[in-house]
Structure 1
Amino acid sequence: MTSAGVNVPGDDGVGNPAAASGSASAPECRTMQRRRRRLEPQGSGDAAAGPSWVRRLRPAASRFSPSPSQGSADRPNDEEQEEDDPDVQEMELVPLPPAGPQELQPADVPAQVWPVAFGSLSMAGRMRMMEDTISLHPDLCTWADGSPVHFFAVFDGHGGSHVSALCRDRMHEFVAEELGKEGAAFLRRRQEWLAWGDGAGAETSAAAFVRGPRGAWPEREEEERAWRSALRRSFRRADAMAALACACGRVARPSCRCPLSSVVSGIVGSTAVVALLVRGRLVVANCGDSRAVLCRGPAGTPPVPLSSDHKPNRPDERARIEAAGGLVVFNNGHRVRGILAMSRALGTNVWWDRLLRPEVIAEPEITVTERTAEDECMILATDGMWDVIANDVACNVARHCLEDGNPPPAATAAAATAGREEEPRCVRATSLLARLAIGRETLDNVSIIVVDLKHRE
């Protein structure tokens, strides 16, 4: 009698000697061999690498080994043993995932990539002096979550280009610095909020938040509050520095000693309309009578105003001026004290004294607008264009230029997109709008920025 349950060289791997003779054992060996061939990987691959599946079996020495009191003659065959033995688990063979980087989860994939292409134009028009300036800074900085922040602005100087040039050179720097501060504070507040919700850090959070029921972290409201705060402080910094600006372009304390410092034409200041594009939102801050308009939807759809002109005859502005002790006088249009044709501006002064304060303030009005797939473009321009071109006309002109059937050369368009240079279609739209304003006999400088908000071939 052969000894059972001991693996020796030449056996079939499960305790049945392959060399054993007899009519009862031969079919059993062939059955196991067929099973082993089905489980072994096919092909001429590397044997050391093993199969691309995993099968868990009971140890070979204990699967079909009979008890000491049981002989080999009364053992059941292999198939009956596998069916009756509860320790044997048949598992589905699942292929292993292919090697390589794992795919991103749906939560990690951005919902939408918001396009940005732009063009600008600035013309003196019928004015002898150029007082407008333009500031273009795509990818100015990043927000707290790593999203890029795009900066576009137009400034309309009065009494000279002192303040508008200062805003062109420094406003984007102020905005980037203030957004950095607000972004750090935003992350800190979110950590405190989450720590409070987890039951930890309640003592540190109590100083920053009112005690009471806490819901989900209000991300949208906190972001908008941070953006508004950063823009307000940036405008205040520009307004404070405007008193030190010289016609030569320098900012000096004490006053600049150059010959141009004595050339003062009375009231010196500037309007400002600043647009920030952050993910799917348009943040617009306006101070003065420059304007930002959003073209949304097909032709004929009314445009969406992103700012409201600060004119002295606007009911709420007039009430504020009169409450501050000022007066709105009709002198070739409604003017504060009969002098300035706008109720808000940066740096409005008579060089040595702030004559029109506090009636004329530098506090911006800020709007936050959600972007949609129907948005065509955004137009920022000084009043030299808006005085003679209505919002809907400007949007129709820009839309037709951007949808022109003769696209720019592919190389030029690719370079504009990759290098954040001005896009030819947007430049064409600003050129046509400026020529239309000159043709309608505008008497002021004309400065225009067109930002394309759609993916175009």
Structure 2
Amino acid sequence: MCVQDVEKVCEEIDNLGLSTDHNTAQFASDQITLSNSFPMESICEDTVVAEEKQSNFTPMLRSGEWSDIGHRPYMEDTHICIQDLAKNFNNKLQNEETVSFYGVFDGHGGKGASHFVRDNLPRIIVDDANFPLELEKVVTRSFMETDAAFARSCALESALSSGTTALTAMIFGRSLLVANAGDCRAILSRHGLAFEMSKDHRPCYEKERVRIESLGGFVEDGYLNGQLAVTRAIGNWHIKGLKETGTHMGPLISEPELKLITLTKEDEFLIIGSDGIWDVFRNQNAVDFVRRRLQEHNDVKRCCKEMVEEAMKRGAMDNLTVVVVCFQAEPPPHVVVQRGRVRRSISAEGLLNLKFHLEG
């Protein structure tokens, strides 16, 4: 079996969830090795960024988006892309940098919550008295205020009762702020390597499980209180025991986790996708796919469409939404991929047998 065949089979093994032992990924200025992705903590804002990487770099923002109902009977995903948040809502800010806003909202139990958040969260952010000076506090507060506003709407119109996960990305100057409540995901491509900008809020996430149990909730068969597959979301006020009642805080919260970084010239683009995308794309695989498409035609919207179509070819069953925000006008540069020595827990004969079965 040639090297390319081995690599293809190993990728298929990864997609099946079988383990292979890869060397730790590293990168220099012109070469990288592959990995799934780097965690959020590895690109924290406290990391010292070389001054030469920051100087003379101004992100040149361009974005694209695409969504599809997939194999579901109803479309509950929605999204938003706003180039200038303040201008969009006629908020006259003097001598302030433009704040761009992008979001993906994955509804469940109906589209009421996802559409409500799409239509109201950006305005609530802009209307906050501390916008844009204390943006982290403003965003956190706005997620929770949007949740409370949706609860009031549901009390007046029960047909709206539903829930949604929410992930937003805001870019101002060289700063990127990602806020996440739920299992949508944001991945940054930095010189071709995938970096996590969010964590999936699911009951299997240890940090979330501890928080849930501290609030009197529980995880049953992988579900929050045996009812919901996510541990943070806006809405779901109609599900008993999940949200706060009076002075008691329930285990399902709308408070987002935030991630703030300073963009450098090595940052290429941000991928934001609903969980249907990540059911069939690994983080590094998604970055590789987007880079190749941008190198081919440099059309961001077309790239998003192709990613959704590829997800469907891979058997995605959920609604599918993806937003890609590029920080450069030019397509990503070609890099030399240096594969390290790989130790695998399956023999060459086993690889051949698996390849035979995969190919039918």
What's the TM-score, normalizing by structure 2? Answer: 0.70
Q: 2:111 is aligned with what amino acid?
A: S
1:133 is matched with 78
Is 1:442 aligned with 2:316? yes
1:304 is matched with 195
Q: 1:253-332 residue pairs with structure 2 within 5 A?
A: 255-256=156-157, 261-262=158-159, 268-298=162-192, 301=193, 303-330=194-221
**Contact 1:137–1:172 (CA under 8 A) maintained in structure 2:** no
Cα 1:356–1:454 change in 2 (3 A) is same
Q: 1:63-102 residue pairs with structure 2 within 5 A?
A: none
1:52 is matched with none
Is 1:349 aligned with 2:237? yes
TM-superposed CA distance for 1:356, in Å, is 4.6
2:115 to 165, 171, 190: 165
Is 1:337 aligned with 2:225? yes
Determine the C-alpha separation between the residues in 1 that align with 2:329 and 2:125.
Answer: 27
Determine the C-alpha separation between the residues in 2 that align with 1:245 and 1:432.
Answer: 37
TM-superposed CA distance for 1:145, in Å, is 4.5
Determine the C-alpha separation between the residues in 1 that align with 2:185 and 2:131.
Answer: 26
Q: 1:269 is aligned with what amino acid?
A: G
Count residues with an aligned counterpart: 267
2:285 to 387, 393, 402: 393
TM-superposed CA distance for 1:141, in Å, is 2.1
C-alpha distance after superposition, 1:92-131 (max 9, x if no partner): xxxxxxxxxxxxxxxxxx9443200000011110000000
Cα 1:370–1:129 change in 2 (3 A) is same
1:376 is matched with 268
Cα 1:263–1:242 change in 2 (3 A) is closer
Determine the C-alpha separation between the residues in 2 that align with 1:147 and 1:263.
Answer: 36
Cα 1:245–1:297 change in 2 (3 A) is same
Instruction: Return 5+ residue gaps in structure 1 as ranges.
Output: 1-109, 187-225, 247-253, 408-424
User: Which structure has the larger Rg?
Assistant: 1
Determine the C-alpha separation between the residues in 2 that align with 1:396 and 1:277.
Answer: 23
RMSD: 2.0
Cα 1:396–1:311 change in 2 (3 A) is same
TM-superposed CA distance for 1:182, in Å, is 3.8
1:49 is matched with none
Q: 2:273 is aligned with what amino acid?
A: A
**Contact 1:153–1:275 (CA under 8 A) maintained in structure 2:** yes
Determine the C-alpha separation between the residues in 2 that align with 1:336 and 1:450.
Answer: 30
C-alpha distance after superposition, 1:22-81 (max 9, x if no partner): xxxxxxxxxxxxxxxxxxxxxxxxxxxxxxxxxxxxxxxxxxxxxxxxxxxxxxxxxxxx
1:453 to 310, 327, 333: 327
TM-superposed CA distance for 1:242, in Å, is 1.5
**Contact 2:57–2:264 (CA under 8 A) maintained in structure 1:** no
Is 1:364 aligned with 2:272? no
Determine the C-alpha separation between the residues in 1 that align with 2:73 and 2:288.
Answer: 30
What's the TM-score, normalizing by structure 1? Answer: 0.56
1:117 is matched with 62
TM-superposed CA distance for 1:176, in Å, is 1.4
Determine the C-alpha separation between the residues in 2 that align with 1:244 and 1:381.
Answer: 29
Q: 1:173 is aligned with what amino acid?
A: R
Moved over 3 A (4+): 142-145, 261-264, 353-357
Cα 1:289–1:112 change in 2 (3 A) is same
Q: 1:238 is aligned with what amino acid?
A: T
Instruction: Return 5+ residue gaps in structure 2 as ranges.
Output: 1-54, 88-92, 245-249, 332-360
C-alpha distance after superposition, 1:213-261 (max 9, x if no partner): xxxxxxxxxxxxx111010111011101122446xxxxxxx613xxxx4
TM-superposed CA distance for 1:323, in Å, is 1.1
C-alpha distance after superposition, 1:315-350 (max 9, x if no partner): 1110111111111011xxx11011100110011221
Q: 2:288 is aligned with what amino acid?
A: N
Q: Alignment partner of 1:403: what SS?
A: helix
* Matched-pair identity in %: 33
Determine the C-alpha separation between the residues in 1 that align with 2:102 and 2:159.
Answer: 32
1:233 is matched with 141
Q: 1:183-262 residue pairs with structure 2 within 5 A?
A: 183=132, 186=133, 226-245=134-153, 255-256=156-157, 261-262=158-159
Q: Alignment partner of 1:135: what SS?
A: strand
1:38 is matched with none
Q: 1:380 is aligned with what amino acid?
A: I
1:176 is matched with 126
**Contact 2:242–2:251 (CA under 8 A) maintained in structure 1:** no
